[in-house]
Amino acid sequence: VSTDDKAANERSRAIDRNLRVDGDKQSREVKLLLLGAGESGKSTIVKQMKIIHEDGYSEEECLQYKAVVYSNTLQSLITIVRAMGNLKIDFGSPERAVSDDARQLFSLAGSLDDGEMTQELGDCMKRMWSDKGVQVCFSRSREFQLNDSAQYYLDALERLTEHHYVPTQQDVLRTRVKTTGIVEVHFNFKGLTFKIAFLKFLLPQSEWVHPTLLMFDVGGQRSERKKWIHCFEGVTAIIFCVALSAYDLVLAEDEEMNRMHESMKLFDSICNNKWFTETSIILFLNKKDLFEVKILKSPLTICFPEYPGQNTYEEAAAYIQLQFEDLNK
């Protein structure tokens, strides 16, 4: 056998070995696509995976979220104060003192730019949050756009404004940053390597680091969807997230559209899409804790006028589930 033939045979064997390795990788690879409308909790699920399966966030990583925690907290309070004007709600404390605090709140907001909260701003926020008028406005938060974690952070202002504050795992979990596309999170579970990817720009599969399982959390806002609807043919399963608590809210980008109705439209377009005819779809009803509290004071008929049942968690959640299941044709 000539030298050229030996070299050709070796190249052929190398190609065969690579094909076998790639085949083994693909046989162990499960691709999950995490979808849902905006603010349905997709990013939170990804963070929970990291906390549960990858020893959570280190202190250094938690500190990187400090500015986000502060920003979410401040913006939530500012949103409530602004909504008071629109809803014609007065402050509960003596007008002059609270008006001064409100002006101070807006003037000090820029001091967060360095990622730290001054004592002056922290004290101002605590006084504002304790005001009865602010609390009344917060109780009507379904009438304006407010971060789900607003109460969690504002109730924790005493802790958040401590001098050496370090965000907890729960603080990090509740942060809200709009997902525009896809970012990656890796974790190991029972000897398998999982990868949750939120790529800001969709990359060809050849550029992915091949893990055992890929989970994609894709931005839910309308402007993002056209980027991914046709890009994930061949995924093993889709996890579709629905925020149960969104039934009485409207979209940030379209205040005429109920969020639950928008989620149903999106689910319909996914489960009946030609790209996913062979794909299993898992319906994940999320934000149960918020829904359990809300359903007692905000009726499901806001979203479904024909709803005949009681406003209890079990009955209302079962009805919502049925509405989504009926869309799967």
The structure tokens listed for 90 are: 């007065």
Cβ within 8 Å of residue 323, ≥6 positions away: 264, 304
Set 44, 73, 161, 279: catalytic member: 44
CA-closest candidate to residue 92, choices 127, 132, 129: 132
pLDDT in tens, 64-75: 999 999 999 999
Distance, C-alpha 59 to centroid of its chain:
22
301 is in an annotated binding site: no
Whole-number Å distance between alpha carbons of 130 and 298: 24
CATH code matching the domain that covers 30-57+179-326, chosen among 3.30.530.20, 3.30.70.3340, 3.10.150.10, 3.40.50.300? 3.40.50.300
Domain spans, the chain: 30-57+179-326, 59-173
Say which amino acid occupies 63. L
178 is in an annotated binding site: yes
CB contact at 8 A, 129 and 81: no
265 is in an annotated binding site: no
55 is in an annotated binding site: no
CATH topology for 59-173 is: GI Alpha 1, domain 2-like (1.10.400)
Set 145, 151, 193, 221: catalytic member: 221
Whole-number Å distance between alpha carbons of 258 and 305: 13
173 is in an annotated binding site: yes
Task: Note if 4 is an active site residue.
Answer: no
Name the band, by pLDDT with cuts 50, 70 and 90, for residue 89: very high
Task: Note if 217 is an active site residue.
Answer: yes
pLDDT in tens, 212-269: 344 444 454 555 555 555 556 567 778 899 999 999 999 877 888 999 999 999 899 8
Set 73, 176, 248, 259: catalytic member: 176
Task: Note if 79 is an active site residue.
Answer: no
Residue range 18-29: average pLDDT? 60
CA-closest candidate to residue 285, choices 227, 234, 243: 243
Cβ within 8 Å of residue 101, ≥6 positions away: 124, 127, 128
Q: How far are the Cα atoms of 102, 103, 134, 300 from residue 120, in angstroms, in the given order?
A: 13, 13, 19, 42
CB contact at 8 A, 43 and 220: no
Residue range 193-206: average pLDDT? 44
Beta bridge partners of 179: none
